[in-house]
Amino acid sequence: MGKFVDIILLALHSLSVHLVRSGLTMLGIVFGVCSVSIMLAIQTGASKEAQEKLSILGSNNVIINSIEPARETSGSGRQITVLKEYGITSGDIKCIVDNVPGVKDYATVHKVKLRYYCPEDQKRYSLVMGVTPNYADILNLHIVQGRFISSVDMLHGTCYCVITKTLARKAFKCLNPVGKTVRLKGQPFEIIGVIDFIPSKLGISEEDIPIFIPKTTKEGRFGQINVNWNEGTMIAEDVQVDQLILQMTDESAVIQASPIVRSIMEKNHDKLEYAIMIPLKLIQAKAEQQKIWDMIFIAIASISLVVGGIGIMNIMLASVTERTKEIGIRRALGAKKREIVIQFLIEAMLITTLGGLIGVIMGYFIPPMLKDVVDVTPIVSVSMLIGPLLMAVGVGVVSGLYPARRAASLDPIEALRHE
C-alpha cells in the first residue's frame, strides 16, 4: 500500500513539474465532459417539457377530430360544393360509447370562426369553441383565474366564456379579465375564467384566439351550420361534432379501444373525414426519440473526449522520451515493469480525472444559466454527471496504456545511456 502511495506522489510530482503542459492537456477533457453534461441537460429538459405538454392531452384519452375530405371540383376547377356535411356525428358517438369497452367519460367540441371585439383590443376573428363542462377536467387544463364552464351554464345556455392567458394579456394588459365582456358577432359574453394554455396537439394554437363557451350557447346563438365567404362564393359547413375526446379508464384500455374506435369510424364513413389521435402513443414515441437523441448527443460530445485522449497519449509518449534516463535509473534500482506501467497510467488517469471533475462542476452550474438562451429549462441529474466522468477516466486508461507499456519495455542499460 505504501509503495502505491509513493507511485501516486511521484506521478503528481511529474505533472507538477510541467504544470502548464498538464493544464493544457487537461482542457480537452474539461470541455468534453462539460459539453456532454450540458447537451444532456438541455435535451432532457426539452424532452420533459414536450412530454408534459403531450401528457396534458391525457395518456388515457383518445381524441377524434373531424376533417374535411378531399373536395370534388368541376371541369373548370371551381368548387361545386355549397353545403358541406362531414365529420363526426352524434350516431358515431353513441356507437362508440355503447360498444367500446373502458370508456369512462367523453367530451365534445363544436367550433365556429367569429369576429370578436373587446374595448382593449382590435376586431379579429376568434375560434369560438362550444364545449361541455367536463372538457377542462378530461384535458387537465389549468385554470389560472376564475372557473370553467359549469353544468348550470350548459343548462341555461348562459353567455359566459373562458379565454386563454395569452388573449387576456393581449386584450386586457395587466387588468383582471374576469368579469369583463367580449363581443362575439356583436353579442356580449362575460369572461368567467382564464386557462393557462392550449396543448398544440389539439390542432389549436394561440394564434387562433380560442374562446370557450357552453355548447348549448353555441348551438342556440350561432347554430350548427358555419357559413364562410370565399372569393364571393358562400360555403356552408354542417359539422355535428368537430372533436370528440374519449377518457378511458386506464392506459391499457386506450390500447384496447384504439382499433375498435377506428373500425367503427371506418364502418360509418365512406370517406376519410376524421383523424384519430392517441396521446399515449405520442408520449411513448417521444420517450423513444429522447433515447435516440441522448445517444446521438453523447456520441457527438464524446468526440471532444476522444480528441483529449489523443492529446494525452501524445503528451505521455513525449514524456516517456524525456524521462528515458529516469526510467532506466528506476529499473536499475529494482523497479519492476508493472510499477512503471502503473506510474504512467496513474499520471494519465490523474489528468483525465481532474479534468473530468472540473468538467462535472462546470456541467452542473452552467446549464441553469442557459435557460433564457435556449428557451428550455435544462435538467441536471447525478447520472448525467457521473457518466461523462467515468468516460473521462476510461479515456485516461486507454490513452495512457500504450505509453505506459512502452516505458516499461525500455531496456534499462539503453535507458541509462540515453542523453
pLDDT (tens digit per residue) in 140-153? 888 999 999 999 99
* Cell numbers that stand for 309 in this block: 485522449
Of the candidates 272, 306, 340, which is a domain's last residue? 272
pLDDT over 90 for what percent of the chain?
Answer: 17
Give the three-state DSSP class for 416: helix
> How many of the other CB atoms lie within 10 Å of CB of 331?
21
Looking at the predicted structure, is the pLDDT value of residue 342 above 90? no
Which pLDDT band holds residue 56 (cuts at 50, 70, 90)?
low
Identify whether 406 is part of a domain.
Answer: yes
Decide if pLDDT at 134 tops 50.
yes
Alpha-carbon distance of 132 to 154, in angstroms, equals: 7
Are residues 341 and 204 part of one domain?
Answer: no
Residue 279 forms part of a structural domain: no
Mean pLDDT of the chain: 80
Q: Given this model, what pLDDT does residue 236 score? A: 75
Contacts 24+ apart (CB under 8 A), 411-415: 412/328, 412/331, 412/332, 413/328, 414/328, 415/324, 415/325, 415/327, 415/328, 415/329, 415/331
CA–CA separation, 401 and 57 (whole Å): 54
Q: Is the same domain home to 376 and 253?
A: no
Q: Is 124 in the same domain as 222?
A: yes
Looking at the fold, whether 205 and 295 belong to one and the same domain comes out as no
Among 97, 95, 116, 115, which Cα is nearest to 105's? Answer: 97
More confident position, 138 or 57: 138
Number of domains in the chain: 2
Cα–Cα distance between 258 and 248 in angstroms, integer? 11
Cβ atoms of residues 319 and 403 within 8 Å: yes
Domain presence at residue 59: no
DSSP reduced 3-state for 59: coil
Q: Quick check: is 310 in a domain?
A: yes
Mean pLDDT of 51-73: 73
Q: What is the pLDDT of residue 121?
A: 63
Q: Does 247 share its domain with 296?
A: no
Per-residue CA distances from 155 to 68, 92, 192, 197, 220 (Å): 31, 24, 16, 26, 12
- Could you tell me if 308 and 344 lie in one domain? yes
Question: pLDDT band at 74, cuts 50/70/90?
Answer: very low
**Calpha distance 382→359 (Å, rounded):** 14
* Pairing label, strands 61-66, 160-164: unpaired
Contact of 46 with 39, CB cutoff 8 Å: no
| Per-residue pLDDT reduced to its tens digit, 2-42 | 666 776 776 677 777 777 777 777 887 888 888 888 888 88
Residue 400 lies in a domain: yes
Q: Look at residue 102 and tell me if it is in a domain.
A: yes
- Domain end: 242, 272, 302, which one? 272
Instruction: Indicate whether 39 and 151 sit together in one domain.
Output: no
Sign of torsion, CA 205 208 214 218? Answer: negative
In a 13 Å sphere around the CA of 13, the CA atoms on its Cβ side amount to 7
Residue 60 lies in a domain: no
Both 34 and 78 in one domain: the answer is no
Entry pTM: 0.61
pLDDT band at residue 94 under the 50/70/90 scheme: very high
| 216 in any annotated domain | yes
Do 387 and 300 meet the contact criterion of CB atoms below 8 Å apart? no
Q: Please give the C-alpha separations between residue 238 and each of 85, 110, 132, 226, in angstroms, as whole numbers.
A: 5, 11, 19, 7
Domain interval for residue 346: 2-53+285-417
* Residue of 89 and 14 predicted with greater confidence: 89
351 and 294 both lie in a single domain: yes
